[in-house]
Amino acid sequence: MIHREHPWMGVFAATLCVFNPDETIDEAGLRSYFARMAAVRDLKGLVCNGHTGEIMSLREKERVTVTRILAEQVRASGTGKKVISGICGEGSLIAVEQSLAAKEAGADAILLMPPHYQLRFGRSSRTAVDFIHDVADGADIDIILHQYPSWTKVGYTLAEMLEIVEHPRVVCIKMGTRDMARWLYDYEKLKEARPGLSIITCHDEYLLPTLLEAGDGALIGFAGFAPELMIRLVHACVEGDLMSAKEAQKTVAPLARLVYNFGEPGSYAHQRMKVALWLMGGIASPVFRRPIRPLPKENLQMIAAALNRLGYATPNAQAL
């Protein structure tokens, strides 16, 4: 069962970022989108500056701006949702500085990614664990650990995660391992070691199997696109309502194929998601920051047609 009173269990939406045609942040459009998301019932929190929010293309000052706008809109909503900001720093001191800036801007917690230089050069277990503990000690803020796919050089082993979660500031794991052979085993061992720890999926492309096996919720870009649908699916899975889960999956599956194209979340999938939400009138612009180039007109038309077949109106399609 989802512990609805537990602050780190449930559905967390990884949000998009809204840009003007010149690629500057559209603050008015971002406020409107965040306000709408903050009003969604049963969302536990909103996450900005994740991969869905194009963190890699945002300058550090812009990341602070996005966090501040999100915090202001959540406070204005009076819903008490968690405000979480993604942090991607190449060293402990840099990540601590980013985390402190997010905290000052109003973040309740951070989504802490591993240093990306390690994707090229690898790292030792000691380095991986100490980086997380350095940030936890230096910033004194709650941390959602971002677990990358097991095939990368920065995916944490179970032994590393068990050591990482010894720190009380690590309150949740965003489990993106994509290794279903270990999914349940790792969940069980982490729960044995730290029963109150929240372990949530980020497998947008196959939510149903991950959550039916084990999980306390989800932190997903899909929830920043179709939040009510994701809440319905996740809650049904975690609460053991298989019939309702499979009914929701009838809509989730074709949407996932449209956005993720049988792959994992990534820049091009997030671009398709942004375009789809813009077509539906959910955000003010489909602009995705460079080096990603705009989708061809025929792709936009294909996405609009697919959304229409699924019963979604696309008022902005007339602008194509």
Q: Does 271 have pLDDT greater than 60?
A: yes
Instruction: Assign 2 a pLDDT band (cuts: 50, 70, 90).
Output: low
Residues 20-57 pLDDT 10s = 999 999 999 999 999 999 999 999 999 999 999 999 99
**What pLDDT is attached to residue 3?**
65
Q: How many Å apart are CA 11 and CA 218, to the nearest integer?
A: 5
- Phi, psi angle pair for 220, to nearest 5°: -140, 145
Residues 165-213 pLDDT 10s = 999 999 999 999 999 999 999 999 999 999 999 999 999 888 999 999 9
140: left (phi > 0), else alpha (psi -120 to 50), else beta?
Answer: left
Q: How many Å apart are CA 315 and CA 119, to the nearest integer?
A: 41
Cβ atoms 286, 276 nearer than 8 A: no
**What pLDDT is attached to residue 264?**
82
CA atoms within 13 A on the CB side of 95: 26
**What pLDDT is attached to residue 247?**
94
Residue count of the chain, please give it.
320
Instruction: Assign 320 a pLDDT band (cuts: 50, 70, 90).
Output: confident
**What pLDDT is attached to residue 47?**
98
Percent share of the chain, pLDDT over 90? 93
Instruction: Assign 272 a pLDDT band (cuts: 50, 70, 90).
Output: very high
Residue 262 is encoded by which pair of tokens?
């049988």
Q: Taking the alpha carbons of 273, 33, 247, 7 in that order, is the dihedral positive or negative?
A: positive
**What pLDDT is attached to residue 140?**
98
**What pLDDT is attached to residue 5?**
82
Q: How many Å apart are CA 315 and CA 278, to the nearest integer?
A: 9
Q: Can you name the residues that pair with 176 across neighbouring β-strands?
A: none
Average pLDDT taken over every residue of the chain: 95
Residues 210-262 pLDDT 10s = 999 999 999 999 999 999 999 999 999 999 999 999 999 999 999 999 998 87
The CATH number of the domain covering residues in 10-244: 3.20.20.70
Cβ atoms 239, 209 nearer than 8 A: no
DSSP string, 251-301: HHHHHHHHHHTTS-S-HHHHHHHHHHHHHTTSSS-----TTSPPPPHHHHH
Each domain of the chain, given as residue ranges in start order, spans: 10-244
Give the CA angle between residues 198, 200, 204 to the nearest 5°: 170
Whole-prediction pTM: 0.96
Give the long-range contacts of residues 306-311, CB within 8 A, separation 24 or more.
306/254, 306/258, 307/258, 307/276, 307/279, 307/280, 310/251, 310/254, 310/255
Tell me if residue 26 falls in helix, strand or coil: coil
